[in-house]
Structure 1
């Protein structure tokens, strides 16, 4: 400090002599010395306490409270400087399940990995925070003429966060849902920006493909629908308002009806008729997908007891259900209560459902197979490690991702993939079924390459219970009724 005093005194003397320029140099040197000295001073207890209050104790990132205050200031500063602000949110898929399966210490390791990755990819002037749990945020100023800067950051994060890491001596490849929102106008607040990013994050998680997603205005109406579903879902399950619909499954070689895939249909009091693809993602997020599926099973099995014994029921289950260690016992109990033969039941599991905890999924599958229940790998080709999963679990059937089937006519690549999957099934002695069939030309092509079964709009819309019974009666496929001769190449009895 003595040196600073000397420099200041000398500068004053030079000013009195009219030597302004050398005086300015001395004053600048004094200011620089003061700044360096201040930064080297140890933090006071009050400063240390303030820093603790602003930081997440696990990751060292800013916490939600600091993010809100600093973020609002950043918005105001950016507006005055004619800069834009973008917010990126990250949420780790099925984090609670991962922590429950690998242990809380492994969960902390994963959170630290995400924090380090985000801080390493973000610019130095960005505000990076852990909001709560497995949700992280990154707020950054961008050039309004080049908003793709935040997109590139999101894409890099999606790639880096999908790379395998080791958790409790096991290699694990996490996946994140990533959403983006941009501040619009001077009236934008940090709360409004976070809400928009939250809505986009919900949509990104529901989409489930791991690709970053920008906020769009229509997400507001989607949130209103989601809230209405959440409010009424549990009561609807209790009352049996969610009823089964039956999608025909057909043997492509004989054109005979072999079974039905069962999905849910709900006449919501305000939203009107809604299908499973709208309410099941919400049910899964709320932890109610298992109750919905078991309710549909009970209803469908009760209806199907007097159908022809050759007719099977297939139920697609959600990824979260395969994280329930009691899933097999619940399904077997439902079978017993309904008096439904186990060999007429097929459970569909997606590759994504296997991803979180393959060991638990294997245990569930073995319990189901021991009871004579069939197992199908659903949406084959859309997940992570198809061949490994075919080796790991005793599947009875594979259903090709409907996107490949829909694109067969227009995209030679999709056709080649479908052909390769069917050939793989032949080599493994594993029947291959096609979902999403819409055109007879595609059906003929699938039949030619050896695909065993088809399912989709080509065979009509999903049917309610009364429509199914009428169709089965016409085809003499109710128990005790003699089968009718084949008269039609499609859905013949």
Structure 2
């Protein structure tokens, strides 16, 4: 809007100056009219009565001209006045629109910060307090992805309306952006449970399905609460407002971490936890760039013969600040911040280089994140790595979890087929912990099942654990799928598995995961290194193999 900048202000000022000039001309014409009319009108009346000669023509024309100028000036003045009034109304509407969220009609971030700052400055801390409630819809991205942005907008409008209806007097709601809302509510510091009750009502009131076209969308949300009583100084205006909103935001993220669809009050320990999380995120990004993530290898053994048949690659973060960090800490964060693909590809490339120095009969197993399986080009990327490192595809086995099967079975099937057509093995990892059906196992071309360590550990002292594993083995025999048991930690479990049939196994009973240098020493002692330090394999022609197998490229 022009009125919001110096140019707009200058134009408005010029209009006002021009308006005053026009009004001045009109007044001057009126004064001139009074003077001229005082001479012409009496003479004109006398002339009409035959008492005098006709008035001077020049004076008469001057009078008529004055009348025309007065009418012209007055009309122009009225037009300019109406134009300025319309402009003022437009500017006020523009300022109002700049302060609200166009989708939901509530405040936006900029205006809410100012409102909250004013409320904090005028707060009598001993008599009342303000609670900021940060609100974030759970899994809102899936709503947009599955139902479209129009449905997402409908969810946001419904959410804002539902919150507005239960806000107490004096409460203010704002949409900060996306699916993030925040509201501020005054309360008496001696009865903070009223805010707890309000938060509970919000969760119950908002967590109702939203109808959008033919779709019924379930909505839940996570809340974070913070009180002005937790601020060091409430009279710092915008700074205090931003501090209070930040504390509520931290509490909201804590609620999400604890399972979503709930609320938490801010506590200082949450801020320390979030700061550590941010440091981890920054460290992970630096670590990927600096090559701090390294492949470690866990032995895989043929339980019947006790022979070493391969290794599973496991990621470790050799952090300069924290030492060796396990994947249970950094993998979930890497998935959330979208760097798991880069990390995994770098680890796999290093693992290919390491495995080329092993005996060619040893296999390499690699875990694939469910996030990577959402990438329609994942199979091509993996095949490109195989070609680039001249690694034989028949020595590679990728492991995917059951959770991957429920997100996009069609795309997963296409990926598996594409990889198997090139000779890569595909295993279903952590079998028994998800929801895969027999129909999926029959329709998806897996090469192997891996029994989750949670079932294997029950072999030590629980009879039903043995029955469950025996049932899994019977099913795998029917599907003609070999089995790997993970989590073998002692001789008791090992002997129990040996009695159940042929399978591969891995676990701490055979040793902890080792870096490449220790693996080389182990293989040297067993005379299981490649004769000249690498496989000496002929480079595989993937194109011709794919043509012979009838395709395998991903659709899209």
**TM bucket, shorter chain:** 0.5 to 0.7
Q: Which residue is equivalent to 1:373?
A: 424
Q: How does 1:324-473 map to 2 (within 5 A)?
A: 324-383=375-434, 389-390=440-441, 393-403=444-454, 421-422=472-473, 424-445=475-496, 452-473=503-524
Q: Residues of 1 paired with 2:463 and 2:116: CA distance?
A: 49
Q: Specify the SS of the correspondent of 2:229.
A: coil
Q: Which residue is equivalent to 1:106?
A: 148
Offset of residue 357 of structure 1: 3.9
Q: Which residue is equivalent to 1:133?
A: 178
Q: How does 1:300-311 map to 2 (within 5 A)?
A: 300-311=351-362
Offset of residue 119 of structure 1: 5.8
Q: Which residue is equivalent to 2:315?
A: 264
Offset of residue 429 of structure 1: 3.4
Q: Residues of 2 paired with 1:245 and 1:429: CA distance?
A: 30
Check 1:227–1:46 CA distance in 2 against 1; reply closer, same or farther (3 A cut): same
Gaps of 5+ in 1: 1-43, 482-493
Q: Does residue 243 of structure 1 match 2:288?
A: no
Q: Is the 8 A contact 1:434 1:451 kept in 2?
A: no
Q: Is the 8 A contact 2:303 2:504 kept in 1?
A: yes
User: Which of the numbers 226, 231, 255 marks the counterpart of 1:187?
Assistant: 231
Check 1:298–1:208 CA distance in 2 against 1; reply closer, same or farther (3 A cut): farther
Q: Which residue is equivalent to 1:319?
A: 370
Q: How does 1:215-294 map to 2 (within 5 A)?
A: 217-294=268-345
TM-score if structure 2 supplies the norm length? 0.61
Q: Residues of 2 paired with 1:348 and 1:226: CA distance?
A: 28
Q: Residues of 2 paired with 1:269 and 1:377: CA distance?
A: 34
RMSD, matched Cα: 4.8
Q: Does residue 87 of structure 1 match 2:133?
A: yes
Q: Is the 8 A contact 1:241 1:266 kept in 2?
A: yes
Q: How does 1:32-181 map to 2 (within 5 A)?
A: 52-53=97-98, 55-59=100-104, 62-65=107-110, 68=113, 85=131, 87=133, 89-90=135-136, 92-93=138-139, 95=141, 106-110=148-152, 112-113=154-155, 116=158, 120=162, 124-125=166-167, 129-136=174-181, 144=192, 149=197, 178=222, 180-181=224-225
Q: Residues of 2 paired with 1:359 and 1:387: CA distance?
A: 16
Q: Is the 8 A contact 2:251 2:270 kept in 1?
A: yes
Q: Residues of 2 paired with 1:282 and 1:212: CA distance?
A: 22
Offset of residue 273 of structure 1: 2.8
Q: Specify the SS of the correspondent of 1:185.
A: helix
Q: Residues of 1 paired with 2:219 and 2:485: CA distance?
A: 27
Offset of residue 342 of structure 1: 0.9
Offset of residue 350 of structure 1: 2.9
Q: Residues of 1 paired with 2:473 and 2:295: CA distance?
A: 30
Q: Which residue is equivalent to 1:37?
A: none
Q: How many residues align?
A: 429
Between 68-77 and 128-137, report the one with greater CA deviation: 68-77
Q: Is the 8 A contact 2:206 2:219 kept in 1?
A: yes
Q: Residues of 1 paired with 2:107 and 2:174: CA distance?
A: 4
Q: Specify the SS of the correspondent of 1:343.
A: helix
Check 1:58–1:122 CA distance in 2 against 1; reply closer, same or farther (3 A cut): closer
Q: Specify the SS of the correspondent of 1:306.
A: coil
Offset of residue 303 of structure 1: 0.9
Q: Which residue is equivalent to 1:20?
A: none
Offset of residue 304 of structure 1: 0.7
Question: 1:214-257: per-residue Cα shift (whole Å, max 9, x none)?
Answer: 56655444444443444454554344332111123334444443
Offset of residue 425 of structure 1: 3.6
Q: Which residue is equivalent to 2:80?
A: none
Q: Specify the SS of the correspondent of 2:329.
A: helix
Q: Residues of 2 paired with 1:158 and 1:247: CA distance?
A: 48
Check 1:409–1:305 CA distance in 2 against 1; reply closer, same or farther (3 A cut): same
Q: Is the 8 A contact 2:151 2:212 kept in 1?
A: no
Q: Is the 8 A contact 1:158 1:211 kept in 2?
A: no
Q: Residues of 2 paired with 1:89 and 1:408: CA distance?
A: 46
TM-score if structure 1 supplies the norm length? 0.67
Question: 1:425-450: per-residue Cα shift (whole Å, max 9, x none)?
Answer: 44433344444444544455555566
Q: Residues of 2 paired with 1:357 and 1:52: CA distance?
A: 42
Q: Is the 8 A contact 2:458 2:466 kept in 1?
A: yes
Between 299-308 and 423-432, report the one with greater CA deviation: 423-432
Q: Is the 8 A contact 2:372 2:378 kept in 1?
A: yes
Bigger Rg over Cα: 2
Q: Is the 8 A contact 2:309 2:363 kept in 1?
A: yes
